[in-house]
Amino acid sequence: MAIRSSDQISIVDLTDGYAVNLSTDAFTFAGDTTKVKSTQSFSTTIYGYCGSKAVTAAVDTTSLSLPTGVTVTSDDDTIAPTLTFTATTALTQAILTTFGGKIDIPVVLDGGDITLHKSVAIGIALTGATGTAPYSILVGNEAQVLACDKDGKTLASGTITIPFSIFQGTTRRACTVTYSTLPSGITLNTNTPGTASAEGSLVLNVAAASNLGGANEGTITLTFKYSSTTVGTKTFTWSKSLTGATGSQGPQGNPGNNGTSATSVVCGNEAVSVPCTLDGKAKAAMTITIPFAGYIGTTRAACTVAYSTLPSGVTLGSNNAGTASADGSLVLNVAANATFGSTTTYTGEITLTFSCNSQTFVKKFTWSKALTGATGSQGPQGEAGEDAITIAITSSNGTIFKNSAIATTLTAHVYQGGTELNSAQIAALGTIKWYKDGATTATATGQTLTISAGDVTNKASYIAQLEG
């Protein structure tokens, strides 16, 4: 089972023997992907004892073996000297690994009679490199309904406009689009590439009296590229809206009255998917174009549209009525970072009320959010980077006791990227196990360990390891 992190603490039972205690015996420097990110320091104070009596302690800092990039100074206090270790960007993970990660400190006690060795463990919390931002495709029109007669032939010529953009992260990129085979009666009008500052536009011509290959619906595959990179594909869907046949003559053979031509409205775009960030906000400003047309029988007629309350971040761009010769167009503007009312609301409707030939028709325009996954970070070898996991042990009643009067609780605090984890978060990572004096079998498991009289003879070192 992997050891995710560990820390060590010593419990000392003084019986008139010599002992040394450090105020800090482990420190982790903040790093970038390979080294310490800036000059950083930490200090440790050395306490020497003979029994319960404090004695003089001294360290010859010139004799310390240090890794490249680390220096040490001392305040030369005779009772409790404080050593300050400073690391610069010259300290790399490779150097620290070769060095071994611990600095040995020989402490001379009581004027030179006794020398005890202590060590300070040092580490570097490396940060994963930022991964390449993902691509996303924004298409302003993904479906259109074409008005046709009862035989499935288009009533009039027209155009289909498909605006598009490509974003890398939140940066707009120049882009192009290619398309699959077009059905009979649909031809290319213009294909304008997108730029770093404006969306592109694919415009298709729809011929009058075309049966569109005989099918009532179909798809066109759109392939998008940024430079030479194929980013992905989208599917544009077209379908027919058929006009009912004229009523037949009366049953007695007499010509019946001419039937009243039916009034109908065709809405060319009834749904859109809005690219959004992971927290439910529109990734970039965009427009939604909703073309529409009114018909009396097979004759195009004037038509207008009204809309219900727009969601937050969506505003009117333009609302052009349809005429007897041209489609109408409702254009809605979506602002960058629009929440559509709430970052946790992912779909909704806008009610469109069309008026044609003194009749009203209600249709629902549906919007939905396409959330972008979080950008993955990369480590120095290309693997995903992770926040460093560290453990710090505290003692509720200190670490030095006299004549076996030991009563304290050790607590292992687990941190991930500088934030302390709760018990549930720790359990998700693994199990904390306690080891005494270098044993390979755990003494106990759990975040705390109670130490009592009889558990320590002179001195004991306890290591807490997060294993999982």
Could you list the mean pLDDT of each consecutive 10-residue stretch along the chain, which spans 468 residues?
72 68 92 91 91 85 94 92 96 93 92 86 82 83 87 90 90 94 95 94 94 92 93 90 59 52 76 79 86 81 94 94 88 91 88 91 82 51 59 83 78 83 90 91 92 83 88
The answer to whether residue 213 sits within a structural domain is yes
Residues 88 and 190 both lie in one domain: no
User: What integer pLDDT is reported at residue 300 of this predicted model?
Assistant: 84
What CATH number is attached to the domain comprising 160?
Answer: 2.60.40.10
Q: If we measure between CA atoms, which residue out of 261, 284, 273 comes closest to residue 196?
A: 284
Residues 313 and 382 both lie in one domain: no
The answer to whether residue 449 sits within a structural domain is yes
The answer to whether residue 255 sits within a structural domain is no
Residues 333 and 427 both lie in one domain: no
Residues 363 and 229 both lie in one domain: yes
Residues 274 and 395 both lie in one domain: no
User: Which of these three, 347, 371, 395, is where a domain ends?
Assistant: 371
Residues 161 and 83 both lie in one domain: no
Residues 419 and 343 both lie in one domain: no
User: What integer pLDDT is reported at residue 41 of this predicted model?
Assistant: 95
The answer to whether residue 40 sits within a structural domain is yes
Residues 31 and 140 both lie in one domain: no
Report the number of distinct structural domains present in the chain: 2
Residues 287 and 360 both lie in one domain: yes
Domain residues for the domain of 222 are 135-242+261-371
Q: Are 69 and 95 in contact (CB under 8 A)?
A: yes
The answer to whether residue 252 sits within a structural domain is no
Q: Are 303 and 354 in contact (CB under 8 A)?
A: yes
The answer to whether residue 200 sits within a structural domain is yes
User: What integer pLDDT is reported at residue 49 of this predicted model?
Assistant: 84
User: What integer pLDDT is reported at residue 254 of this predicted model?
Assistant: 55
The answer to whether residue 249 sits within a structural domain is no
β 299-301/314-320 pair status = unpaired
User: What integer pLDDT is reported at residue 48 of this predicted model?
Assistant: 87
Pull the structure tokens for residue 39: 């000059």
Residues 362 and 413 both lie in one domain: no
User: Which of these three, 371, 395, 422, is where a domain ends?
Assistant: 371
Number of neighbours of residue 21 by Cβ within 10 angstroms: 21
User: Which of these three, 355, 371, 387, is where a domain ends?
Assistant: 371
Residues 327 and 310 both lie in one domain: yes
User: What integer pLDDT is reported at residue 370 of this predicted model?
Assistant: 72
User: What integer pLDDT is reported at residue 110 of this predicted model?
Assistant: 83
Residues 455 and 349 both lie in one domain: no
The answer to whether residue 277 sits within a structural domain is yes
Q: Looking at the DSSP assignment, which residues form a beta bridge with residue 213?
A: none
User: What integer pLDDT is reported at residue 323 of this predicted model?
Assistant: 92
Q: Are 153 and 204 in contact (CB under 8 A)?
A: no
In DSSP notation, 355-370 reads: EETTEEEEEEEEEEEE
